Structure 1
């Protein structure tokens, strides 16, 4: 195939990518249902685990690209569920720091494992070389879009 996909193939690829994305989103929602958690709550918990401690409310808001007020509301919900704790920053008593509890970490681990199993179930029938090729092709598509 020459540079650029033919007009009749590119829409087919886009349709298939959309179908895969729909299935992945469905599996993501299903992985959250047993925990009565939202995707936004999971994003926050994962961000808290990724960011260097201590994590301030402003750090979390910046990482999630949300307003500080929204981050505060999100942390309120997580704290009520026992998934995070909050306290004063010892270096700046005006600042609030947040940490994931053991229960919050268990939720993150369980959801990640459910999503991994679902993804393996969806893609596991493909031989490893096909999966590697698919990964490399999708990475090229993403890199090409990021360059624009």
Structure 2
């Protein structure tokens, strides 16, 4: 008797679900006028206690500093963030969220919620709770180091 390759099936299902969620989220993000990468940077800035340096953001997002510069340039042009001098060292530039950036974050949360709701709509409340517990277990086992 052969054992079915459940790991392979699960991996394929998770990948397909992730792609579907990304497509749904993109449909909801397009009207906000922001890319997924810009969204990640905005959320990172919002989660910092004090305005972060560009290098902090690059490390947090696990990208090269040049990528952060490009994202910050686009978000600054959009009015979502602004570059501000560090009060302790004026040569250091920090990235600060603006009121427009906070509005965009609210719209992003709504877009994400709508995309997830679209994906989860076939599940009952009990199934959602079970799925949440299972995903929580999986995330605990693979939680990346947070800064």
State the TM-score bracket (shorter-chain normalisation).
0.7 to 0.9
Does 1:67 pair with 2:72? no
Extract unaligned runs of 5+ from structure 1: 1-5
Aligned: 1:17 with 2:14? yes
Deviation at 1:16? Answer: 2.3
Name the one with the larger strand percent.
1
1:7: Cα distance to partner? 2.2
Q: CA offset at residue 11 of structure 1? A: 3.1
User: Which of the two has higher C-alpha Rg?
Assistant: 1
Cα-Cα RMSD: 1.9
Gaps of 5+ in 2: none
Partner Cα separation in structure 2 for residue 12 and residue 72 of structure 1: 39
- What residue is the counterpart of 1:29 in the other structure? 26
2:29–2:108 Cα contact (<8 Å) kept:
yes
Q: Relative contact order: is structure 1 or structure 2 higher (C-alpha 8 Å, sep ≥ 6)?
A: 2
The alignment of Structure 1 onto Structure 2 pairs a total of residues equal to 141
The runs of 4+ residues in structure 1 deviating greater than 4 Å are 142-146
TM-aligned CA deviation for residue 142 of structure 1: 4.2
Distance 2:66 2:142 in 1: 32
2:25 touches 2:112 (CA, 8 Å); kept in 1?
yes
